[in-house]
Every structure is written in structure tokens, then in C-alpha cells.
A and B are shown apart, each in its own frame.
Chain A
Amino acid sequence: MTRRLVVLTAGLSQPSSTRLLADQIAGAVAAEVSGRGEAVDIQTYELREYAVDLATMMATAGMPTARLDQLRRAVSAADGLVVVTPVFAASYTGVFKMFFDALDTDALNGMPVIIAATAGTPRHSLVLDHALRPLLSHLRAVVMPTGVFAATEDFGGGAAGRDLAGRAGRAAAELAAHVVSTGGDAVAGFTPTSTGRDSGVDVPTEVTPFMKLLGGHSG
């Protein structure tokens, strides 16, 4: 069964070191999932390309655009997620946060996620645990223990460069274990049948019957 990996990268320049890191992690995840005997389909989205859609949604009290709806569906349908942001003013970028603000509260329930960030200096490395991890935890995602932080020097040679590849590989192995174990290992009827994940984009076709909503009230 092919596993769907969605990669969200919030770099603003082109080429972007954030995108480089995203691709490196995605490649590592692909290798780890393949190594467990499963195929992987990687979809990478540049959040910069959704900046106007996100601003439109924010400026209209929540009216989504068709493009943004398509991305929201893809994210909730993924088996695993890699999210990468540059550090701006000691945190994730605005467009990165706007995307998560645009998600339904149930959009990431139980989603395995690798968090990653880039910055000009290693002194921002705690952004992963002070900003990204609480955000994803709030959204009830399952954040991998290993986050991947890359300062400019980590893209060079020597120990720093080798360590980055090691961190990406460790995070990828953690994510692959989650992604490959999704489904199949629970006894039917003993656990909730699904993740309860819902992009919130589509009107549900199944509704709670009104008698249940009405509870004990009668006519």
C-alpha cells in the first residue's frame, strides 16, 4: 500500500534553503518507508504559493479558496507530514502559521509529523521545541521526538553537514515507523475505526440523526 507523505515548506526565497531541507527530509523518509517494504508518494507544497489564498481567507472571515481547499484535503488525507519553516523574528514565518490557522480543529488528529526549521544561526535551534512542537501538539498531531534544525553552517561540509543528515535520518526512521504501522494493527471494533481526522472542507454526507441530537425531548 502506497503511503502518502505531504511536505509543507514555508521558505520565501527561491531557491530556498528551507526547501532544500524539506527535500532532504522527504528523501530520507522515502528511503525509510521503502526499507519497510512500502511505496511512498511524496507531495510537496510551497506555502508561499498559498499566501494570497490564506490572506483572502483571513480577510473574509473564513471564506476558503478552491486552491486552499484542495491543499487542506491533501494534508488531512496524508499518512505523514513534514513541515519546514525558516525562522523569522525568533519563530515560524507568518505564512506558516496562517496555514495552520486555516485548518479545521480535527484536520491533523493523530497525524505523524516531522518538524523542521532553518535559520541563519544555530542560536535559534530551540524554535522547534518552543514554537513548532506546541503548535502541532495543540492540533493533536503526533510530533516525532527528533526535530530537524539546520543553521546555514549545517549545509557545509565537515561534522555539521554530516550531523544534519544524521538528524534527518533519525527523524525519518521515527516517522516511517508511524506511517507504516498506520491501520491494520488494531482489532476491528475495539478501537475507533479511524483517526477521526477531518479536513472540514466538505459537508459530511453522514449526519447525526436528529432524534439523537434531540435527546430525551419528545412531542
Chain B
Amino acid sequence: MQFGVFTIGDVTEDPTTGRTPTEAERVQSMVAIAKKAEEVGLDVFATGEHHNPPFVAPANPPILLSNIAAQTTNLELSTATTLITTNDPVRLAEDYAYLQHMAGGRVDLMLGRGNTGPVYPWFGKDIRKGIPLAVENYHLLRRLWRETAIDWEGEFRTPLHGYTLAPAPLDDVPPFVWHGSIRSPEIAEQAAFYGDGFFHNHIFWNKEHTQAMVRLYRQRFEHYGHGAADQAIVGLGGQVFMADTEAEAKRIFRPYFDNAPVYGHGPSLESFTRDTPLTVGTPQQVIERTLGFADYVGDYQRQLFLVDHAGLPLDAVLEQIEILGKEVVPVLRREFEARRPEHVPSNPPSHASLVAEGPDSPHRKVISATAGLDQVTEEAAV
């Protein structure tokens, strides 16, 4: 199973000191966080994509991820999320294929639609078309990574004739893709159709909702013939702050919680830790809470933690990653594997595992589903 951190790169005042990091400091902090994650044995670093202050997550994640790739050797580099709605799928195909080459294949990505309204018109798109944009753009993206001399016409982008991606994906194997959505069943359906991964952010919502979304994805994954429902590739978010005692963790984290973007000045720390996966306490408490996630989403493959937001200073963030790597994740790895049935994959597909599947791998097909293919053929014939 993979464990890692994901960040949205918010530039937020530290409420205990009144100091706001500069954008330059915050950009560099994201590199430091990724390097620390590798140093302490975590598996994944995922960055958000942003186009507006107060965020410095890159507008084009491969820029940051290439830099990190050059300074790490094992870390899997991912996104949380790459905007499939407002980005040109041709540029996504080009930039992420290039990143694969820079990172020696240590790349996957998570697609999302984005929820910042003005970003859509800034890029000439209509937020009300979010789902159709995600569907068409991703289908084109799959073709760009898998075919040459492409002729293509769609609703949202200028047509292509005779387009061939360069460089082609590393070893002709496109990166593995996750689809992230908090509440849109269409996106769970999309992930299931292609046999891609499904990631639930999890941290701003009650667990019953996360459970229902993951269940839907698993059922449809099986429907489309990619394997049994419990073999579908699931990732979850989580949010933690740890100290030697629960009281100490709460004392340190409370001012950050109370002033945090998104949920600050709202619910109490106590009610938010009850209603969402946020865990503020000892490493042992984080271990127990996290193991419990599998009780309601099933055995899963990737757990990402949010540890660097709400103005927490970098040294505190690095300390949290240290605790995760040294005390929490080794136990989680052991315990999650102990409960996992043999037929359920431990890890999401990696570049190496996808290469090993060979040229006839379903992953290399534009439409990898087996259910509903008759319909595709009929429509293609019309």
C-alpha cells in the first residue's frame, strides 16, 4: 500500500505568529516537503493545481514535479488534482508524458474538475459544462497517449488532424490515472469505465458519503469487467496532526484549525474530528483511525495525508512527516496488509507494473472496458 502527502499550496498566515510566508518560501517549502517524504520512506507526493491566490500550487504541476523528480529517487509523483476541464488535453498529454521521461516513470496523476468558478471563464470554459468537459477531454487525452496520427473532432477543442504526441509516453505506457470527485457519481462512473483509480478527498465530508461514492465506483468497476469490486483501485485523503499526547496535539493545532481556510471559524475542533477523518492526537490514535477507513471503503491502495495547510510553519510540517514516516506508516503498512485478502492488490499500478503487462495490456487500449463494447462498435459504424 502506498502512503504519502498531498498539498494545495495555500499561503496562509500563521495565526500564532501573525507571519505569512512569502510565495517564494511557500513554493520552496513544497519541494522540501516532498524531499522529506522520500527521506522518511513515504511513497507519494501529490500537488494540487491552482490558478489563483492565496495558492502557489503550480498552474502546471509537471513544473514542480520535474524539479522534485531531479532531487528524489523513489518517490511517486502525482497530482491532487490536475484540472481536466480547463486545461487543453493536448498540453496535458504533452506535459505529463514529458514528466514521465524526466522522472523515469515515477508519475501518475489525479484528474479533477476544479471548484473555483472564475477559473473556467479565465480559460474560456463554462463551469456548467464541467462533466461533459471532463468526459470529452479525458477521452481525447487517452487517445493522445495511445494512438498516432490522430484525427479528432469534439465539442470543446479545435479539431486535430494527423496529430502525434512527442515525446510518446515513456516505454509507450501512459501514466496511471486517478479520478477525484467528492460528490459526482458521473466521475466515479468514468473511473470505473476505464478501470482507472478513484480517489475520494474524504477530509471535508462525512464518512457515509465517502463510503457511498467508493461503493458506487467499485460496483461499476466490476460491471465494466475490470475485476471484482474489491479489486478496484481506491485512494483516500486524510488529515492529521500529532504530538506525544492528545492534549498537546490539540493545544498546538487548535489555533491553526480555528483559523484554517475552508472550515476555520466554523465547527469546533472536537465536532470536526468526530464528523470527518481529521485526527488530532497521538501517532497511535492516527494509526487506529486510519485503519478504520478500510472498514467502510474496503481494502484500498493509496492513503494521502494533508499536513501542510492552515499556516503551519515548515518545520512543524516536516516534523509531522517525520512522525508519519517513522512511527505511523510502518505500522499501517503491516496492519493493512494483514487484513487484505490475497486477491486484492496492495498497490495501484505503477509504471513498472504496467510495462510488465506488455503491449496487449488493457491499460494501453483507449477503451479498456469489456462491458458495453458492442454499443461502441455500433456507434462507430453509424
Contacts and interface: CB of A to CB of B under 8 A. Distances in A.
Contacts, number: 89
Contacts of A64: 206
B271 A203 contact: no
Interface of A: 55-56, 58-61, 63-66, 202-205, 207-211, 213-219
B43 interface: no
B309 to A, nearest CB: 14
A77 to B, nearest CB: 18
Interface stretch (B80-88, B119-127, B374-382): B374-382
24 contacts: A55-B266, A56-B267, A56-B271, A58-B266, A63-B275, A64-B206, A66-B206, A203-B185, A203-B213, A203-B215, A203-B216, A207-B188, A208-B186, A210-B189, A210-B193, A213-B132, A214-B193, A215-B135, A215-B136, A217-B139, A217-B140, A217-B154, A219-B142, A219-B365
A61 B276 CA distance: 14
Given A60-B267, A207-B220, A213-B190, A219 B367 contact: yes
Nearest to A209: B372
B102 interface: no
Contacts of A219: 142-143, 365-367, 376
A203 to B, nearest CB: 4
A210 B263 contact: no
B275 A65 contact: yes
Given A60-B263, A203-B185, 8 more contacts: A63-B206, A63-B263, A63-B276, A202-B212, A203-B183, A209-B372, A213-B189, A219-B365
Interface of B is mostly: helix
Interface of A is mostly: loop
A73 to B, nearest CB: 12
B209 A203 contact: yes
B269 to A, nearest CB: 13
Interface centre among A63, A203, A210, A213 (most CB of B within 10 A): A210
A213 B138 CA distance: 12
Interface in B130-187: 131-132, 135-136, 139-140, 142-143, 154, 183, 185-186
Nearest to B142: A219
Contacts of B272: 60
A208 B263 contact: no
A214 B366 CA distance: 13
A183 B206 CA distance: 34
Interchain residue pairs A-B with the least CB separation, the first 8: A59-B266, A219-B366, A219-B367, A203-B212, A210-B193, A218-B380, A60-B263, A217-B139
A204 to B, nearest CB: 6
Nearest to B263: A60
Nearest to A62: B204
B190 A210 contact: yes
B205 interface: yes
Contacts of A56: 266-267, 271
A205 B188 CA distance: 12
B339 interface: no
